[in-house]
Structure formats: C-alpha cells, structure tokens
Structure 1
Amino acid sequence: MTLSIRPADPARPDFVGEVAGLDIARGITPAEAAAIEAGMDRYGVLVFRDQPLDDAQQVAFSRHFGPLEMATGDIAQGGQRRLSMEINDISNLDCDGAVLGRDDRRRLFSLGNMLWHSDSSFKPTPAKYSMLSARVIPGSGGNTEFADMRAAWDALDEETKALVRDLVCEHSQLFSRGTLGFDAFTEEERAKWQPVPQRLVRRHPRSGRLSLFLSAHAGAIRGWPIPEARMLLRDLTEHATQRQFVHAHVWRPHDLVMWDNRVTMHRARRAPPDQVRDLHRTTVADSAPTLEQAA
C-alpha cells in the first residue's frame, strides 16, 4: 500500500490527519519519514491506526524525526520505573503491573496530564514531536484532546497579538502540579524543575506559521506581576481551547498518535481509576531553546 493522509474531520482539513498504508513495526523508509514530517507540518497531529508495537519498534520509528528525550520529567525514577529512560510511562501501573492506589504519589502527579499542556515545555529545550502508543485502554473515557495553537493565534484580535508577540514565560512542573494542590516535591525535584524561559509566540521553522506556546507549566511572564501574568495566561488558554480549535481522539487498541508540541496543546480526559490505562510515549527533542529560535 502507498502511504496516504486524509483529514480526520473534513470540516477542519488542516488539523489532525489519519495515516493509512504504513506498517510501522516493519520499519519505515526515509521517503516515508519525509512524507510523515510533511503531514505533520500541515496537520499538527497524525493518527496511525492498527499499529501493534513494542518499545524497540516505537523507538526505532521515533528516531527518524530527531534525537529522543530521556524521560527525566517523570516523577517515578530509579527502581520505581517500569520502562526504559527512552519511554515516558503514561499509565496507572506500578512496576508489578498493578493499578496504582488512589493516594499513590505517582498517580497524583500524573493527574497533571489532564491539564492543557505542551510536552516538556518545562525543559530548557522543549519537545518537538510526541508519539503515544496505546497498549491497553480502559473500557470508557481516557480520550486525549488536542488544541490547534496556530488557529488560536490566527483568531486573536490585532491588539492582543501585539501585546503578546514578544513576551517570555517561565515554565515549571512545580507550577502545573501546584495548581492541583500537589506540592509534595523533594528538594532534588525542586532543584531539577526550576522555571525555564519560553517564548509565548513561536514561528514554525518549516511552515513559517505563528502559534501560541501555552501550557499548564507556564506560571509567570518575565517583567509582569504574577497575578496579571496568570490572568493573561488563563485568558489565552480559554481562548485557545474553545471547541472550534479542539479535536478529541477516541483511543482504540494499538493506535499510535503523533503530534507537534510546537503548534498544539493536549490533555488527557478522565478514565475509571480502577481500570488499566497503559500508553507508552516517545518524545523527540526540539533543536534548541525557544529563545534561540527565530522569532
């Protein structure tokens, strides 16, 4: 079969594409990787159905698009980790495969995935692409929603565009988890997740389109009083996550979903806490900190 990409929703032909004609487990060619990257430039999110993968196959696929991040943003490290450091554990399972208890620190930290965010915006060099593979999904709930930050930028009035165009935010997991009342961080974690600067408006290096770079991790704007900064960030997030900018992905077993963190936000939705939800994420790092990229 020949690789093809079509809009998931014909009413929004440039946001979220569905890919056919590809067996990722067999490996992909450089030409196929180039076609996928061109599809990402257009759609921002790509859905690959019926892709049963193991971690090695997922890693091999991901490496076509750049160097992989290590999963240093996960709160479970060392002996608490189920997976290799190349894989972010997006699950509710412990090392023995049992569902985490309601009050387990790892589960409470992971609830932050239900906030609108961009992966690794709390790292000096944030994420380029994320690839999330559904290994086990619950019987209900657990969808992932994506917001098109290019369309959100385009829809802003000119006064707001001028206000935000050159602003620099500070991002940290200490802030995003703190909004949920999770503040049980070790001193090592507090040192590791000190705020990092990110542009609020970014230009995509290939398409040239501008987009808002928002995330639940953003808790300050340089040069602004904190309350005023958080109010603006809240207003912008409410604007960017209106339904006309959002697509909800309903997971099927063996889906692989790939998205560009430079032009999207996403969030997980609630799932039954006693049912297994096991997804594995590989993450491709961006080329440089956002302040070093062309504005």
Structure 2
Amino acid sequence: MAIKLAPLHPLFVAQVTGVDLTSPIPDDVFAKIEAAFHRYAILVFPGQPLTDDQQIDFTKRFGPLETAPNYAGAALRLRNEFTDISNLDHEGRILDPKDRLNQYNLGNQLWHTDSSFKARRAKCSLLSAREIPPVGGETQYADMRSAYDALPEERKSQLHGLVAEHSIAYSRSLTGFDGFNSDIATTLPPVPQRLVDYYPESGRTSLYLASHASHIVGWPVEEGRALLEELTAFATQEQFVYTQNWKVGDLVLWDNRCTMHRGRPYDPTQRRVLHRTTVSDIATSFLEPESKVGDTADSRQGASGIGPRAVD
C-alpha cells in the first residue's frame, strides 16, 4: 500500500490516494498519513465509502474520540460518537427549514473551529460525505498558520499572550438560535483559549480563531470583538482559503487547532448528509506552556497585514 499526496492549494491541503480506509491501515502507512496531516493540516481522501464503524476505527488512530452531546435538545439520527452534518430528522426525513435543529445548524455556516468552546478542545475532525445536493453545500477551510505568517511582525507581538473566551452559546446567538437545553451554562461554560499557539509536530505557529470566540479576556468586550472580527476577516482572505466541492465517498480530515471552516448554503429541500467524527486534543491551549510561540521561523506569504494597534 503506497500512498500518494497531491497538493490542492499552494499553502495547505493535500489529496491522499493509494489507501483503502475501509480496511485496517498498517502502522507504517498510518505514520505517513499522520506526517502529511501535520504538514498540510487538511487531507482529502476521495472514493472512501465508509460505514460508521469504519469511520470510527480510522478516527481513533488519531486519538481519543470526542462524543457529541445533544446541544439543541432535539431527537438525533446518529449515535453520540458522531455529529450529524445533515438536514434530516431522527427518522431520516428532510427537516423543515424552521425546525429547531435546522436553526441550530445554521451556526455551521459561520467561520469556526470545532469544539473550541470546550476545555478539552478538538485536535481534528473527519467528515464523510454520504449524500450531496446537486448545487451548493461546499465546505470552505482557512489556513490559520499561513494567516499568522502573513501578519506584520509588530502585529504578531501585539497578539502573543492574548486570551479569548469561547462559548457555544455566544456563537449560536449570532444566528439568532436560543433553544439550548437549560443546563448548557453548567455543562459547557465559557472557556479561555490562546489567540496564538505553537504546534511542535509541524513547527508552525498559528492563530486560533472561531465564531465561538466571544471577546478578549481583560479587554472591553466591544474592543475585543472588533479585534476578533478584524483577524477573522484577514485570515479568511481568498489566498488562505480552500473550497471542498463534495462528492459522495469523500472523507476530509482537518486540524482544528490551526484551521477554520464553514459550510456554504444549499437548497434545504435537497438532502445533504455528512457524518463527522472528532478527536479530542490533549488539553486546552490555555493550560499548556506557551514556550515556543513566536520563536519559529516564519514563511512569509507577502499578504498585506492588518494595521498596527496599541494593546493596553
């Protein structure tokens, strides 16, 4: 089994062929996949018609499986090892666009990274395409490592050490959703995450952004939100973004620690079914030492930077 890598974007993302994920993966082949994951941050595996059990088996090779609590309080279609990225109800029928679960899922169209609102954030996610609408429904990914590299040096120094508070309730409020279970504040309270972090596996430093990020800790709320919006706009410029045009059988693996993603609109009367599994990271970024943040060599991409701003 000899895998082949083909870059799909100048900065990140590679297609992986020559491997059958429906069968057990030898350790030496998995080591090559894992190395490519650290290098490219996003891997696309076309033509992988996985069952749920096969997807779980492959996901567990990357670390502990995250379970998906019922945030919206609706009857669910899949077991809790999966996040259901679909427009179907628990009986497989297309949801009414005004359905509570559909309203909750609108948050997936905001730029975000999975589980940044958890104390144990997500390491990576794997999304398997089962049914795809004829038009729309793409997923876009943004490279937070290259965005960080492209910032002016003065801006980088201003961002180091800043901490953002992340909350699922905040991000869903941006789309008008307020139908959480009553215990959401207890089960998923806001958590702090570094705005900039370093990843020794790749030797890269990255922004850590998401629509879940509510404000900068210690700053006036509106001032912090303005900074987060400014950085998100910068980091999602065209040169940092890859668009996945789904085909049935595609599996996409991405690093949640150094990328963001968003789903694109589609006709809600057409079926769109993708199954997501997620791997938990070892800890929240805020609790780990910041030892090498900013110490790595930067690969400048020449993008125009955000203007300097004094940090109080």
With the shorter chain as reference, the TM-score category is over 0.9
Counterpart of 1:5 in structure 2 is 5
What pairs up with 1:1-295 in 2 under 5 angstroms?
1-9=1-9, 12=10, 14-72=11-69, 74-76=71-73, 80-295=75-290
Name the aligned partner's letter for residue 166 of structure 2. Answer: H
Q: Give deviations 1:16-40, integer Å, cap 9, x for gaps.
A: 0000101100121111221111001
TM-score w.r.t. the length of structure 2 is 0.90
| Deviation (angstroms), 1:74 | 4.2
- CA distance in 1 between counterparts of 2:68 and 2:233 reads 29
| Deviation (angstroms), 1:189 | 2.1
| Deviation (angstroms), 1:95 | 1.1
Counterpart of 2:309 in structure 1 is none
| Deviation (angstroms), 1:243 | 0.3
| Deviation (angstroms), 1:289 | 1.2
TM-score w.r.t. the length of structure 1 is 0.96
Aligned residues of 1:74 and 1:88 also touching (Cα < 8 A)? no
- CA distance in 1 between counterparts of 2:106 and 2:235 reads 21
- CA distance in 1 between counterparts of 2:208 and 2:253 reads 18
| Deviation (angstroms), 1:75 | 2.3
Stretches of structure 1 lacking an aligned partner (at least 5 in a row): none
Q: How many residue pairs end up in the alignment?
A: 290
- Aligned-residue CA RMSD (Å): 1.2
Name the aligned partner's letter for residue 40 of structure 1. Answer: F
Q: Give deviations 1:113-158, integer Å, cap 9, x for gaps.
A: 0000000001101100100000001111000000000000001112
> 3-state SS of the aligned residue for 1:280?
strand
Please say which of residues 264-273 and 204-213 is displaced more in the overlay.
Answer: 204-213
- CA distance in 1 between counterparts of 2:289 and 2:186 reads 29
Q: Give deviations 1:57-105, integer Å, cap 9, x for gaps.
A: 000011111000001264246xx11111111111110111101111111
Distance 1:192 1:127, change over 3 A: same
Distance 1:22 1:76, change over 3 A: farther
Counterpart of 2:301 in structure 1 is none
Distance 1:272 1:25, change over 3 A: same
Name the aligned partner's letter for residue 277 of structure 1. Answer: R
Name the aligned partner's letter for residue 267 of structure 1. Answer: R
Name the aligned partner's letter for residue 84 of structure 1. Answer: R
| Deviation (angstroms), 1:183 | 2.0
Distance 1:292 1:132, change over 3 A: same
- CA distance in 1 between counterparts of 2:289 and 2:205 reads 11
- CA distance in 2 between counterparts of 1:209 and 1:233 reads 21
Counterpart of 2:296 in structure 1 is none
| Deviation (angstroms), 1:273 | 0.6
Name the aligned partner's letter for residue 95 of structure 2. Answer: L
Aligned residues of 2:72 and 2:181 also touching (Cα < 8 A)? no
> 3-state SS of the aligned residue for 1:267?
strand
- CA distance in 1 between counterparts of 2:15 and 2:248 reads 15
Aligned residues of 2:123 and 2:256 also touching (Cα < 8 A)? yes
